Each structure stands twice: as structure tokens, then as C-alpha cells.
A and B are shown apart, each in its own frame.
Chain A
Amino acid sequence: MGNAETATNTIGVQYYETRLGVYDEMVATEHKVLPYWEHFIGALETMGSAEIEHRRREAQRLLRENGVTYNVYGGDAQKLTRPWRLDPVPLLISSEQWLTIEVGLKQRAELLNLVLKDIYGKQTLLKKGLLPTELVFGHDGFFHACVGTLPNQPKPLALYSANLVRGSKGRLWVLSDRTQAPSGSGYALENRTVMTRILADIFRETQVQRLGGFFKGLDKGLTAIAPHNKDNPRIVVLTPGPFNETYFEHAYLASYLGYTLVQGDDLTVRDGYVWLKSLEGLQPVDVILRRVDDSFCDPLALRSDSRLGIAGLLEAVRRGNVVVANPLGSSLLENPGLLAFLPKLARYFLNEDLLLPSVATWWCGQNRERDFVLNNLDKLIIKQINRKQGNQTIYGGRLSNKDKDNLRAAIIAKPYLYVGQEQFSFSTVPAFIDHHIEPRNAVLRSFVVANGDDYQVMPGGLTRVAREKDDFIVSNQAGGISKDTWVLATEPKTPVGVSLQSSGRNQFIDAVTEPLTSRAADHLFWVGRYLERIDGAARLLRTILLKYQDTLEFNEATDAQCLCVLLRSITHVTGTYPGFTKDSGKLLAAPEAELFSLAKDSKRLGSLAANIQAFVQSAFSIRDLWSQDTWRSVDNIQHRWQQRVINNDIATEALQSGLDELITGIVAFTGLTTESMTREAGWLMLDSGRRLERALKLVALLRATLVFRHEQAIQNQVFEAVLFSTDSLNIYLRRYRAFIQLPMLLELLLLDETHPRSVAYQLQQLSLHISALPRECGKSQLSEGERLIIKAYTDLRLSNVADLLKDDGDDGIYTALDSLLANTTELLWRVAEVIARAYFSHSQTSQLMTANSPPEDEL
């Protein structure tokens, strides 16, 4: 930015323009920096705008590399993930203020916990008239099937989250409660991790309370509620899958806490218990940390159209064989109508006043309140009590007269479904926007977990600010920016609780090897396959581009003929028919457009772009299994290809260097996985996918290039190109020190078991992997997969080059070679099918059977 220089001078507080009458977190109402902000804002002033911007970008880079995303529904697959945005200016909260917040949050968590226990238990609140029946029964979060199914624990509400805002006089209010599957704690942790890197100096000088203790508390709390295996319960994180908006966080938390990340069909209910379908068979599950909405969790007892749940889960819960956190049905507490009743409930249950007040709310299910709302539509925010898509928050004042009449009619028709809320003027916080520090409206999401008999509050939270000035809509879906939240400690002290790692996976890794879910196995297998598809196509494309440049330069007939062979082969290898295969000459003479399409067109099956996308999607679906470094290498592959190749109108030279970089990226990923993965089921799956696909691609290439008899001059060129594109040219030359000849070429690429790029090597490895995979029927008999791969391997080994190249009648092809290659392909396809059937059991579909009684054909 050109004005970066001048902007340097505008960071100080004298340039900070708050609005009249609005409380600001840094200057309150007096426009004088609060003492606990002084040091921090001083440090920023010294740093200057350009440096802050530099660090902001550094933060964005780190977040992107770590794969921190927030998915926005409705976009197409490519643009599905939106990078998480972090403001380098945190929200500071003094220790005294925090004390009040903490006590208030604990009280509120306990109060909601008691309401939950009552509604799903004796329903005294309804019987005594403390809560109207319409308010409870009219809310989508009440599930009659869940009555009586809460675990017998003091705190069934295991996780609680509140959205807090500060009003004009500096008082804190609760805007809404989150109890279904509160999200954000993982993002808060990741924000902190990044902040300690980009503002390391300031962070060190500031006494900030640490977050690790909260997650340790979460882990302890979840361990404590396990119904069985209390010493070492199996805890899983249930996610709707990679398309969910906060999937990053599901994977992140699972990996951080050492839990297995699962989707609904990774689990099954048998004998009234919940089991994890793993490669090693069924493993019992004790606790489910759910990030799936309650109605979707059990297609038998709840929503029958759900594909995200586990049939029979509620029955397992009813029998006390598994604990779900939060319990099924807890979204009941998110009902905004409840806010109006909380003060009374606090007195009833706790004999206390509500410490953190809620935003003023009128539930229209009562006549007086309904009339108030109808008479004050202009001044209020109108919400439906059920939070579902399409139910927008309505600012009454912004409606046209016609819309207002419609809204009135809707409220009168079903008043219990509506609340009116005061339009709240939030406090502002300093945010770094376009090189300036400016006040923005902010919401703080705080997090609470049940840890035994007590609630524990995260000292910090996820602060979100609106992008635009005076905007009150602060949400990730609407493109808000997040902030770290620094709760200051009163005095210097060693980090509270624990270092980040000690509550995480390191503690457990000695004790348990996590089972690999069949879904994760499936994705690993496909990561390996896509990787090899990319590698094979990239190397061949690079070879072709070189040859193409030769033809342009030297204009020799043999070059052109060799190019034709190679062009046809890339259509075969990538499976992008008809491509060059059905062409009479036009395409072959001017192949550029087709080659660029194979590189760039992500909508085209078999193209590099499409395979890269599929590779990243598969890898993202098991985000929890990758190390930070490995994920960065995945991200690099996609990011660079997108930036350098897809987004640009490039020439062939640039595509060449893009391909070089892509191949380097693949090698980095392969190296990292080879060096960092334990040789267990996960590795076996990944490498099996790679070996299988590499063999298939290689066989396809050999079939397309070597099976035909070419005339000598062309043949030499083709052989060289094949060796080059399989990274074997150097080896050949070193080993045979001779002119390239077909017998030796086949020896090297087909039969040499010591050469990692030969077909024989792939089959040998695949055969070892398959026999090492866990299976049910003991080891005395060969499995179907083993039998098939051994057959392919043996057929190959029993062949010899002389026979393969025998001249049998002259139809222009080596028949024996062709049929060996065809046979190998066929067997490998069957191996792939058998692996899928044996190990990817989650893919079995379920169906709802309803014996509809009313007379169908009987009468």
C-alpha cells in the first residue's frame, strides 16, 4: 500500500475514533486508555502500521498453511473452504473483570444444566408453571424420545458456550446460549497458537492466562463420564464430515485431544453398545463428543432421513452404555424464548439472582409480551425460537409496511414461535482494519466445560468483530474476523495449568494405538491413488511438453511421430477419452489446448487439476491424521498449482516449471509420510493405494507406447521418453551403458523387483501390504485379495522378455506383452474392489423400513 508510510503515524490512541455514547473495550466511555491496555497499545504504536500489517499477513499465512478454514455452505466445492481470518489486535480483559465473567458463566452453565435435567426428567418446571408448555414443546430442540435418557451425572450438560456482548454502560450481557454442540474452542486455541508466534515479543511481556488447562479439563471431564473403562475410555469426536462449516475444528480437536474422529457410519450399535468399525474389527466406544445436531444423531429414534447418525444410538444411551456430550436433546436450551424466564429460574433453582443478564427478550407466547412486541416491531429484533435455515433475524425497523403486516400475521398465528429482543448497541473493540486501528462491534464467545462436580471456564475465548463499521451482524457465515482474547493475570506467574502438549495426544500414545476407522482407511487408500495419478500424469505431461518443443524447434518427422505416440498415451494414462485417441490429425498437430485442459480444467475428470482437487479433499477428510508439516505439503501442492497454473494464462514454459514444482511437492508429501507414519494399518492403506495406482498407470503407459512396433527411429525416441517419464532414464543409462533396447527396457520397467518404479516392485509391495492387513478369517488361508495379487505378481514373474516380444504373425503389436499387461490391469482392478469390500464397510448403505399399517393392499 502506498500510504503505509503515512499510516505508521496513525496507530496511536489519539487517532482512535470511537463513537459517542458507545462503550469501547480500550477507552471505556472516557476516551482515555484503560490502564491494562496501555502497555499493549504502546507496543503497537512503537511497531507501527507497516509492521503490524506485516505480522497480520504472517498470521494469515500460518493459518492457511495449517489448514484453518471455515466452510461456507452453498459455494461450489473448490471455493468451499474460506480461510480463517485473524486480527492481530487481541481483546484484552483485565483479571478483575474476568473474575465477574467467570462466576457468571459458571452460574449460568449450572442453571441451564438444571433446566435440562428437569425437562428431560420430572418436568417440574412445566407442572409448576415456571415454564410454559408451548415454550418447551414448541421448540425443535425438545425431543420426547429423549425424556428419561440423560446420563445419571451431576452435570449432563458437559459443554456450554455463551455469546457475550458489552452494553453502552460497560455491563456484560448474554446475547445467546450455545448448548447443542458449541463450536469455536478449537479456533480459539489455534488463534492463540498463531498469536504467540506473530506477537511473540508482546505476548511474552504480557501476563496472559493460558488455554491448555481448559482442554485438560475437557479431557478429564469426558473421561469421568464414561460409563465403562473409566481408566482408559475410548472417546470419539462425531462429525458430520468435511462439508460441515467447522470441520477443521472437529479434526483439530480430535487430533489435539487424541480422540478418534468419526462420522456416523463409522459407528454401529450392537447388543445395545456403540462400536467403532475399524480395520481391526469392532472396538467399543464409551463417550461421543458430538458435533452433529441432535435430531440427526439417530435415524431410528429421531430424524429418519438422517445420513449422519447411528441407528440405535438413543437405545444405547437409554441403557447407559454410552454417554453423548452434550446429551441428545440439549439444543432445547438454545431457545431464545428461554432467556425471558432465566431470572425466575435462577431464583427457583439456585436462590440467586442471575449474575450475567440476558439481552431483553419478550416471548410472544404470552399475551402481554406478544402485544408489546406487536406494538414495538420497529424498535425490536424479531427471531423465531427455532434456529434453522431460512429463519433470519429480523430488524423490525427495516421492514417495509407489507413485510411488517406479514410478520404480524405470522406472529398472531403462532405466537409461541416468536420472540422480540431489544436492539442491542454492542461495545466496540480496537481492530486492525486497512492499516488503521478502528473501533468495531464485537461478540465474545466463551467456553465452559463440566469437570466432575464443577464447571471450568476457558480463560479467554473467541472474539469476533464485524468487518464493516457500525455493523452488528457478527458471524463467520457473514465474513467476520476473529480475534484472540487475552485474559490478563494479576501477577506474573508460571503458565496456569499445563503446557499445550501435556493434555494432548502425547500422554496417550504409549498406551493405546488408535484404531483406524474404515472411513479413514478408505480416504488414505484414495490419497495414495490420487497422488500417483497426479504423479504419473505430471511426469508424462512434462515429457510431452519437452518433445513438443523439440518438434517446434527442429521440425523433424520422427519427433512429430513420437509426439503422436506420447499424446495418445496421455489420453490412455489419464483416462480422458476420446482426447488424442480418436483424432485424425488436427488435435495431434496442435495439441496445446488439449494439454492445457488436462493441466487446468478441474471440471474434467482425469485432469491434473481434478486429481489435485480430489487428492486434497480426501486428505482433508482425514485432516486429523496428518502432522502439521504433512498438511503444509498438501496445501502447497494445491496452492501452488492454483496460483501458478490454474489462475494464470500461461505459456508452455511456465507450465513446465509448474510441473517441476508439482513433482517436487509430491515428493515432499511422499517423503514426509514415509518418514513420519508408523507402519500400521494407516500406512498400509496409503501405500497400497499408491502401489496399486502406480502399477495401473505404468501398465497403461507401457501398453500405449511399447506394445506397438514402431520403426527404429521413432522407437528410440519413444523408449527414451518412456524412461524419462518414469524417472528411469538415468538408471537405464547407468546400468546398461547402451543404446536403449526394448528387452532391457522391459526388464527394468516391468520385471526388476529392485527398481521402485517397476511394475514388479509395485506388485511385490502390494502383495506384502495386503497380507499384512488385519482380517477376520485368520491367517491360515489366503484372503481373496491376497490370492488375486499373488496371481498378478506370479504371472508377471513367470514371464520372460523373449517370450513377450516373440514375433507371432505381423499385426503390428506384441501380442504376448499386450495380454500380460491387460491381465495385470484386470487383476489389479479386482484387487481394488476386494479391498473396498473388505475394509471400507462404512460405505454400506442403510434404508428406512416402515411397515405402514393403514390399509395398503389389504382392503
Chain B
Amino acid sequence: MKYRITHTTTYNYSQSVGLCQNEARLQPRDFWRQRCESSIFDITPTPVDFREFIDFFGNRVAYFAIQQPHRQLVVTVISEVTLFPRPDITGLLKQLSWEQVRGMLQEMPNHGSKPYQNQSQTQSEGQSQNQDSGQETLEARYYILDSPMIAAQCELADYARPSFQPDRPLLDVVRDLMQRIYTDFTYDPAFTTIATPLSEVLAHRRGVCQDFAHLAIGCLRSFGLAARYVSGYMETLPAQGQQRLVGADASHAWFAVYLPGTGWVEFDPTNNKLPFDQHITLAWGRDFADVTPLKGIAFGGGQHTLSVSVDVLRLEQ
């Protein structure tokens, strides 16, 4: 499955901007179900200073600065991405209960001598596998803690509790939670902004994909589980008999939960779906603040208006 994504962000300012510095997380990252074939920036005015690097979470970041006066900034990224069919995970679904997973995450490595090497130490292969998985579990623990936009709290735990029946397999729990969010909450772009706190989303049962992802993550963290935020795109298909509208797509967000031994399993609460072959990943982190697609600091500028256009085009099956 191959896609071409064209993502354009345009800022218009009422007054001249003398200097702006930006960080963009707009280039799709590589991982097991996705390969980014190419990803090219087109920025006007051309930045004098442009540099790419990889952040703490492994995301691709572009830092750029416009140092000449300008009244408009246009940032376009064109990326081509190949998605690979994901392995069937239904076989795993019944395996680990959420309590077991929580216990594994809480387990402290033995301080000092031999962390994560309690079992199968006779086989070197097994040991190294354990080490890798141990390493991954260690990293996953960062995603249990509070993050800038998501703090574990009683209200979230209360909402999530019906899904957390004793001994229920973790993936069943999360599926149920996703289903409930999908049913209970109204998709309403007019209701929230980036700054709307989770408690309000919860109280009014309204929000957008970012809020639903945050909500699910907050619920899972309130039960001691590791969950992360994924930013990306989703292919939208026109209703039957209608023309496909170029540029009418949007950025999207969902979440993933960590299952020791398996890795991160993704869920899309906005669409009540497991991301499969229509979800293209840009970046992941603890919440939106870690993966903001484009942020910048502009000096001057007065009032500004912003427009975003995203086009997800399927190139081949």
C-alpha cells in the first residue's frame, strides 16, 4: 500500500515578521509497518537556516528559521510512504490480563547486577531477547507517567473502570474502552482547541481525535499502563458516487498501548478502528505536545491567520 501525502500550512500575518524559528515534525518516521520513501520540504520564503535531526522518541524533526521580513509563511511537505500489512494479532488477544501487564511494567529491574535477566539465562539467545524486551519495557515506562497534557486522575479512572474488569485481557480492555469513547463522545471540532483540558472534554463528552486519543491515554495511565500518542494521517474515501476532493483530508491522531512481548498496539478511538492500511504515522510521543506537527515562535506579525490543507492520495494497492 503506497500513499503520497501533501501537507501545506499557511500563515498570513497582518504585520511583518522579522524572524521566526520553527520545529516541524512533518516527515513520516520509519517503523515495522511503514517505510517513508521520500519526504521533501518546500518552504516559502526559503529558510536561511534548515537542519534535520532525530528527537528523543525517534521522530524526524526539521528546525528552520526565516530571518528576513515576511508577511506569509507557507510550509509544504510532500511524502511518499509504503505501508506493510500488519501481522494478525488476534491470537494474542486473550493472553495477558491488564493486571499482569501492569505488574510487568511495575517490576523494578534488580538494582545493580542483573536486570531483566531472571529467566533463561542458560541460553544466550534467550538472554539477549529478554534484554531487548527488557529494554523496550524500560522505555515504555516513560509512557506511564504524567505528561504535559495528560495527568492521571480519578475522573479518568472512574470513566475507564467499567472496561477494566478483573482478569480481562489487556487488548480486550482497550478495545472496549475505544468502543465506549467512540459511542459516548461526540466529534465536535467547534468545541475544543489545543488548550482544552481533558477534564472538560470528559465533562462535556465532546472533542476531536486529539482529545479522544488523550482521553484514552489518560484512562490507561490511570491504571498504571503505558500508552502513547500517535500523530499522522488517515486516508478518507469519498462517499459513493462522489468525486474525491483534493486537500480535504486532515491530520489525524490516535494512540497505542504497550503489551510486553508484543510491543505497541494501535487503536483509533475517533473511528473505532484498529489502524491497519489507512493510517500513516508521522511521529509519536507522550502526548500532542511532544509531536506538534509544526510550531514556531514569530517576532512581530500582529494578527495572524492559519490555514492547513492535507491531501492523502493512494498511489498503489
Contact = CB atoms under 8 A, between A and B. Distances in A.
Interface of A: 126-130, 132-134, 137-138, 144-145, 147-148, 268-272, 299-301, 304, 311-312, 315, 318-319, 344, 348, 366, 413-414, 416, 844-859
Contact of A854 (B110, B253, B297): B253
A144 B250 contact: no
Contacts of A854: 189, 208-210, 250-253
Shortest 8 CB-CB distances between A and B: which pairs?
A853-B251, A129-B109, A311-B297, A129-B115, A144-B56, A855-B250, A851-B294, A854-B210
A315 B51 contact: yes
B250 A128 contact: no
Contacts of A148: 56
A413 B295 CA distance: 34
B304 interface: yes
* B interface bracket (residues with beta carbon within 8 Å of A): 35 or more
B45 interface: no
Determine the main DSSP class of A at the interface with B. loop
B147 to A, nearest CB: 10
A315 B21 contact: yes
Nearest to B108: A132
A185 to B, nearest CB: 33
Contacts of A366: 108
Contacts of B141: 133-134, 137
Contacts of B67: 270-271
A267 to B, nearest CB: 12
Nearest to A309: B297
B309 interface: yes
A137 B142 contact: yes
Given A850-B292, A858-B308, 18 more contacts: A129-B116, A130-B112, A134-B141, A138-B146, A268-B19, A270-B19, A270-B67, A304-B297, A311-B297, A312-B65, A344-B111, A846-B297, A850-B194, A853-B210, A853-B250, A853-B294, A854-B252, A855-B208
Nearest to A138: B145
B274 interface: no
B22 to A, nearest CB: 8
Interface centre among A129, A147, A853, A855 (most CB of B within 10 A): A853
B20 to A, nearest CB: 7
Contacts of B193: 852
21 contacts: A128-B109, A130-B111, A130-B112, A133-B138, A137-B141, A137-B142, A145-B56, A301-B23, A304-B297, A315-B63, A844-B300, A846-B297, A847-B298, A850-B194, A850-B295, A851-B11, A852-B292, A853-B210, A853-B308, A856-B189, A856-B308
Contacts of A145: 55-56
Contacts of A299: 297
Contact of A128 (B75, B112, B296, B301): B112
B89 interface: no
A126 B138 contact: yes
B93 interface: no
B266 interface: no
B297 A129 contact: no
Nearest to B293: A853
A851 B9 CA distance: 7
B135 interface: yes
A490 B75 CA distance: 68
A851 B308 contact: yes
B192 to A, nearest CB: 9
B298 A129 contact: no
B5 interface: no
Given A147-B56, A271-B48, A851-B293, A127 B250 contact: no
A312 B21 CA distance: 6
A851 B295 contact: yes
A130 B293 CA distance: 35
A304 B51 CA distance: 21
B21 A318 contact: no
Interface string B34-74: 00000000000000110101011100000101010000000
A212 B18 CA distance: 44
Nearest to A312: B21
Interface of B: 9, 11, 18-23, 48-49, 51, 53, 55-57, 63, 65, 67, 75, 108-112, 115-116, 135, 138, 141-142, 144-146, 152, 189, 193-194, 208-210, 231, 248-253, 290, 292-301, 304, 306, 308-310
A290 to B, nearest CB: 19
B244 to A, nearest CB: 14
Contacts of B304: 847, 849
Contacts of B138: 126-127, 133
A845 B53 CA distance: 28
Nearest to B18: A844
Contact of A858 (B249, B292, B299): B249
A344 B110 CA distance: 13
A845 B299 contact: yes
B49 A272 contact: yes
Given A129-B115, A304-B295, A850-B292, A137 B145 contact: yes
B111 A849 contact: no
Contacts of B301: 847
Contact of B297 (A144, A300, A318): A300
Nearest to B208: A854
Given A133-B138, A138-B145, A854-B209, A849 B19 contact: no
Contacts of B112: 128-130, 344, 348
A300 B18 contact: no
Contacts of B145: 134, 137-138, 416
A79 to B, nearest CB: 35
Nearest to B192: A854
B298 A271 contact: no
A533 to B, nearest CB: 31
A846 B21 CA distance: 11
B65 A269 contact: yes
A129 B111 contact: yes
Given A844-B300, A849-B11, A854-B253, A300 B309 contact: no
A849 B250 contact: no
Given A138-B145, A414-B152, A853 B231 contact: yes
A742 B253 CA distance: 80
Contacts of B152: 413-414
A848 B48 contact: no
A610 to B, nearest CB: 31
B49 A129 contact: no
A313 to B, nearest CB: 10
B310 A858 contact: yes
A128 B194 contact: no
